[in-house]
Amino acid sequence: MAGARCSNVAGIVSPEPGFVFPADEMPAAAPLFKGEMKAGAAVTREEFSRLARVPLQVVHGDNIVCEPIADLIADGRRAQVVASKLFAAVIANYGGRANVLHLPDVGLRGNSHFMFSDLNNVAVADQLSAYLGANGLDSR
What is residue 8's predicted lDDT score, i.e. its pLDDT? 92
Query: Is the model's pLDDT at 104 over the cut of 80?
Result: yes
Task: Give me the torsion for CA of 127, 90, 135, 61, rounded to 10°.
Answer: -10
Query: Is the model's pLDDT at 68 over the cut of 90?
Result: no
Residues 6-61 have pLDDT tens digits of: 989 999 999 888 899 999 999 988 778 778 888 899 999 999 999 999 999 999 99
Mean pLDDT in residue range 77-84: 91
Going along the chain from its start, the domains and CATH numbers come out as 2-134 (3.40.50.1820)
| Pairing state between β 56-60 and 98-102 | parallel
Residues 107-139 have pLDDT tens digits of: 999 888 788 888 999 999 999 999 999 998 875
**DSSP bridge pairs for 59:** 15, 101
Mean pLDDT in residue range 91-100: 95
CA proximity to 135, closest of 59, 54, 51: 54
For 45, residues 6+ apart whose C-beta sits below 8 A from its C-beta are 22, 23, 24
